[in-house]
Amino acid sequence: MWRGGRLGRGAALGLLLAVHGVAAFEPISVGIAIGAASALTGYLSYTDLYCRFAECCREEQRLNASALKLELEEKLFGQHLATEVILKALTGFKNNKNPKKPLTLSLHGWAGTGKNFVSQIVAENLHSKGLKSNFVHLFVSTLHFPHEQQIKLYQDQLQGWIRGNVSACASSVFIFDEMDKLHPGVIDAIKPFLDYYEEVDGVSYRKAIFIFLSNAGGDLITKIALDFWRAGRKREDIQLKDLEPVLSVGVFNNKHSGLWHSGLIDRNLIDYFIPFLPLEYRHVKMCVRAEMRARGSAIDEDIVTRVAEEMTFFPKSEKIYSDKGCKTVQSRLDFH
């Protein structure tokens, strides 16, 4: 006896896979295939069926704030400010059906403190394929914008790339890594897209998210963290107001920040400057345990201690903070 539900789904998949052979999913062929598949199944909409087999831009999809909060708390160590600010910023932005501008976050701190890791978590919580999503775009300064003589070309290319991708998906995410290595002026090309405009040349950018990652300001963050430590205060007592004003001014005046004298700061278009604090010995041990769990290994505290003690710490007198954060934990664990 013919079993409509099961055979219908199989037929739908067969039709879509057949269409997959058409170069670049030619729209008319896809439409015919999905129409036929919908007729066979009898209960799936065009969009629902298509999105089962191809990634779709779900502009109105709500953020699972509880899942994001849990992931940040369980996987990001020693960064109470980043966890709090990123959660509030993303939740508020995604819950706002009519934002006035894109959400723009600038993450600062030394290497190995979790900036790239957080951008990966954010990407995965906004688009299921994370950094592999067609709607998440990663720019690396030394790779995509290497030559100082070609700033004008990079500006034009950047504008065209962002315009095209936001036109395809309004909730696109753009991540700029190594901002401290970006030639001054390049990033100002996207200033019109970050401003308070309904549209720019017929395109609305208000639901997009821009994330900047930078080592610039790491010295300022460390100084304040060290002042708290020397005063006998907990690092958890550090508040955003203790760091954000210093960070924004410091980055604005730093010729090697990628945001030197940038209109993005001058026009207050960066919503949050988010400091990543230097990591202590105990945080490095947390990173080692997390890496062991990720590898499916039993937690061996002797190995955890040995790996942590192999790291170098600063300042020389107190040796409080890991100079590479948790960046080399994976490679060091390979030797044990």
Distance from C-alpha of 317 to C-alpha of 321, rounded to nearest angstrom: 11
C-alpha closest to that of 154 among 143, 164, 165: 143
The binding site for ATP consists of 109-116
Q: In which residue are the tokens 């090309």 written?
A: 189
Q: Whole-model pTM?
A: 0.85
**Tokens representing 175?**
């991540």
Q: In which residue are the tokens 């036929």 written?
A: 36
- Do 322 and 311 touch, CB atoms closer than 8 A? yes
Helical axes 281-294 vs 301-310, angle rounded to 10°: 130
C-alpha closest to that of 250 among 109, 155, 81: 109
The residues of the chain that CATH labels 3.40.50.300 are 65-276
In the chain, the N- to C-terminal Cα span, in Å, equals: 60
The binding site consists of 109-116
Per-residue pLDDT of the chain (336 residues; tens, 9 = 90+): 444 444 444 544 444 444 444 444 444 444 555 555 555 555 556 667 778 788 999 777 789 999 999 999 999 999 999 999 999 999 999 999 999 999 999 999 999 999 999 999 999 999 999 999 999 999 999 999 999 999 999 999 999 999 999 999 999 999 999 999 999 999 999 999 999 999 999 999 999 999 999 999 999 999 999 999 999 999 999 999 999 999 999 999 998 889 988 999 999 999 999 999 999 999 999 999 999 999 999 999 999 999 999 999 999 999 999 999 999 999 999 998
Question: Which burial class, exposed, middle or buried, applies to 275 when counting CB atoms under 10 A from its CB (0-12, 13-18, 19+)?
Answer: buried
**CATH T-level topology, domain 65-276:** Rossmann fold (3.40.50)
Residue 134: partners with Cβ closer than 8 Å, 6 or more residues away: 55, 169
